[in-house]
Amino acid sequence: MSAAFPLFLTLTGQTVLIVGGGELALRKARLVAGDGGDGRGAHLVVVAPEVHPDLATLAAEVRRRPFAAYDLDGVTLVFAAGEDEDEAAGVADLARARGLLVNVPDRPALSTFIMPAIVDRGPITVAISTGGTSPVLARRLRARIEAALEPGLGRLATFLDGFRTAVRAVKSDETARRRFWERVIDGPVAQRFLAGDEAGAHEQLVKILNAGDAGDAIEGGSVALVGAGPGDPDLLTLRALRVLQNADVVVHDKLVDDRILDYVRRDARRVYVGKSKSCHTVSQDEINALLVREAQAGHRVVRLKGGDPFIFGRGGEEMAVLRAAGVAVELVPGITAAVGCAAATGIPLTHRGLAQGITLVTAHGANAGGGSAEPALDWTALARLDHTLAVYMGLSKAGLVAERLIAAGKAPGTPVAVVQNGTRPDQTLAVGRLADLGALAASLTGPALILVGEVVTLADPSKIATDVFTTLSSTPGRLGDTTLGSGLKAAV
């Protein structure tokens, strides 16, 4: 058990004295002065011969002179934050003699209180302390907690506070009130509010209140269309992580890494609807019906997709079906494969003098029978654009892509890259020429992304699977008309 007892002080209207005028004093002042609108601002008095301009702005009173004992008159809290250690020790001695709370930064033996690392989601405050043993560790812990807490939690607390009187009138029993608030905070009302739909959250909470004991049946479910990113769980967004951990049901695809599924609540139900080429475990119509059915049963559903739901992920179709059924939908974007794979291989998607833009296409079109057909792309426009071309789901049609682009005027020597399992531990990068794209792809199995363009010459040499290129090597040192660095010589 810590020797320090945690508590929170109300400093509004109280006088806080800071002895010192430098950066350290400024940091302490920012913690206690507040921003003028949070109700936490203290009456700040600064004593020092020289005072930092920003500190002078925060202070209600600045005394530009050395500290004197009478500066402690009427003070509630003291920070001895000057650079002179002897002066700081003297200030601490005098403050303790008067029974005042005093802090000397980085000198816990002289302090009667320790400043914690603070996560501020006003009016919600989280404080972390190591008892003065390791301030850096406390700051690290603060960063982790801060990342895990939604930025809108403070506003949510204020929003809920506005309903306290109404809830007390409807729910006279304390246990009933507690259970009511638990449902609200864990359910769609809070979910909608944190997703930015404050009007919808207000409307639903009013509806639940007006329904009295029948309110449980009104809450209803919701669906979040969540992008899981290209594979690496570290690339999952904070919002995606929070929604996953709040889900009752997770409907996921084949391309979602198992390590990402580890973030799902243990008691949540997982439904696999994975698809691969020519092997659809569950049809899209069945998935749509499943999402509607689970939401209408009152569940918080996450539809988890690899990459981004709105980039060749059919998220738009699912969104339209859910909205038509009156189901609340939240959209949580993910890092799409082109962005993730490019970063993982050191290939910039745009680069001055090499690519002025990026075009995303899929190599699979839909035919009347529901299978895959050649996509209806304007190959001439794609060949002419000064863009990096990112081809999704193109491994089985890599030869066709190369054939169509070359026929449309793209140089056969244009650099290309095939990234398999991008961002994952088993990632493979193969690079070569557009004319060799079919042979490059033939040695790999999906999932893979194809990049076409001069930016491929900037790929990180250490990421290249050199065994793939040995079979394709000819004249080393050049790729088409582009001079290569030594790291790509084996690729040509």
**pLDDT tens track for 326-378:** 998 999 999 999 999 999 999 999 999 999 999 999 987 655 444 556 778 89
> Model's pTM, two decimal places?
0.65
Provide the 3-class DSSP secondary structure of residue 244: helix
Torsion of CA 65, 69, 70, 72, to 10 degrees: 100
> 197-209: per-residue pLDDT in tens?
899 899 989 888 8
User: Residue 140, CB half-sphere, CA atoms under 13 Å: how many?
Assistant: 5
Task: Report cis status (omega within 30 of 0) of the bond before 123.
Answer: yes
Name residues whose C-beta falls within 8 Å of residue 293's C-beta, 6 or more positions apart in sequence: none
Considering the domain 222-335 in this protein, what is its CATH number? 3.40.1010.10
- Do 320 and 213 form a contact (C-beta atoms < 8 A)? no
Q: Report d(CA 84, CA 39) in Å as an integer.
A: 33
Look-up: residue for tokens 């080429």?
277
Q: Domain spanning 338-366+377-467: which CATH class is it, in words?
A: alpha beta
Longest alpha-carbon distance in the chain: 89
CATH superfamily of 15-115: NAD(P)-binding Rossmann-like Domain (3.40.50.720)
Q: Report d(CA 436, CA 417) in Å as an integer.
A: 10
Residue extents of the structural domains in the chain: 15-115, 153-216, 222-335, 338-366+377-467
Catalytic positions, written as ranges = 253, 275
Name residues whose C-beta falls within 8 Å of residue 366's C-beta, 6 or more positions apart in sequence: 372, 373
User: Residue 170, CB half-sphere, CA atoms under 13 Å: how many?
Assistant: 21
Whether 15-115 shares its CATH topology with 338-366+377-467 is answered no
pLDDT digit string (tens) for the chain, length 492 residues: 566 788 888 888 899 999 999 999 998 998 887 644 344 578 999 999 999 999 999 999 999 999 999 999 999 999 999 888 899 999 999 999 999 999 998 888 899 988 888 888 878 888 888 877 788 898 888 888 887 788 888 899 999 999 999 888 888 777 778 778 877 887 778 888 988 889 989 998 988 888 766 555 555 688 999 999 999 999 999 889 888 988 889 999 887 888 999 888 888 899 999 765 555 568 999 999 999 999 998 888 999 999 999 999 899 999 999 999 999 899 999 999 999 999 999 999 999 999 999 999 998 765 544 455 677 889 999 999 889 999 998 888 899 999 999 999 999 999 999 999 999 998 999 999 999 999 888 888 778 999 999 999 999 998 888 434 433 333 333 343 333 333 333 333
